[in-house]
Amino acid sequence: MDKPRVRIYTDYKSPYAFVANQRLFDLQEKYGVELEWLPYTLRIPEFMGTVEERTPHFWRKVRYLYMDARRFANAQGLTLKGTRRVYDAFLASAGMLFAQRHGFFRPYHEAVFRRFWSHDIEVDDLPAISDLIASLGGSAAEFEAYARGPARAEHDRIIDEAEALGVFGVPTMVFNGELFWGGDRIDMLAERIRHPEGIVAALGSRYRKDAAAS
């Protein structure tokens, strides 16, 4: 019998994805689900605007969000330092896909999260990501060929598919076609895994419409 599958969209430069990470792995151990991890690499200017456009209200919100994420990190014994600049995490996301294919996804995944938020790795630095992959037994040369070649098209296809499902942020979990956004929805997701029939009451006519269309 196939295990229930939870698809998880994540981004290494999201503090909330970082602090939700362990709880998501716990779902696998507690409920026997299969986790499918995919990158949803946030394009910061698209939803936050350029630095020049940001208002004092925006910066108050950002300071609060980092404080809030740091509280979740501290409760787990994690280090979460504020980011030093705006990052494009494509290379780290490509590394995620590469690591999955070569059998060292989890150590890579956890190392990138931990080291990025400790200011110990730059997620947009090809030599840094290549060195990490080599340290985990992967081939730096093969990764660099992948990153410079087919990775971009594969990465962008995954993003397009995510947005077609309705994904707009991270972490987003998808279970039986239903989206759960944010670490504060993990308990709701766990309840749905235990009682998948609950989707009918939760979504009502929308669920019946979607089910009929499929």
Q: Encode pLDDT of 108-152 as tens digits.
A: 999 999 999 999 999 999 999 999 999 999 999 999 999 999 999
What pLDDT, on the 0 to 100 scale, is given for residue 23? 97
- What is the domain range of residue 50? 5-213
Number of domains in the chain: 1
Q: Encode pLDDT of 165-192 as tens digits.
A: 999 999 999 999 999 999 999 999 999 9
Q: Please give the torsion angle defined by the CA atoms of residues 155, 159, 160 and 161, in that order, rounded to the nearest 10 degrees.
A: 100
Of 80 and 211, more confident: 80
What pLDDT, on the 0 to 100 scale, is given for residue 135? 98
Of 60 and 71, more confident: 71
Assign residue 79 a region: left if phi > 0, alpha if psi is -120 to 50, beta otherwise?
beta
Residue 135 tokens read as 């340290």
Q: Taking all residues of the chain, what is their mean pLDDT, rounded to a whole number?
A: 91
Report percent pLDDT > 70 for the chain. Answer: 89
Among 42-46, 81-85, 129-133, 200-204, whose mean pLDDT is lowest?
42-46
CATH of the domain at 11: 3.40.30.10
What pLDDT, on the 0 to 100 scale, is given for residue 52? 61
What pLDDT, on the 0 to 100 scale, is given for residue 203? 75
CB 184 within 8 A of CB 191: no
Q: How confident is the model at residue 47 (pLDDT cuts 50, 70, 90)?
A: low
Spatial distance between the Cα atoms of 71 and 65, rounded to a whole number of angstroms: 10
What pLDDT, on the 0 to 100 scale, is given for residue 48? 54
Angle between helices 151-165 and 140-148 (to 10 degrees): 60
**Average pLDDT, integer, range 33-61:** 77
pLDDT at 208 > cutoff 90: no
Q: How confident is the model at residue 10 (pLDDT cuts 50, 70, 90)?
A: very high
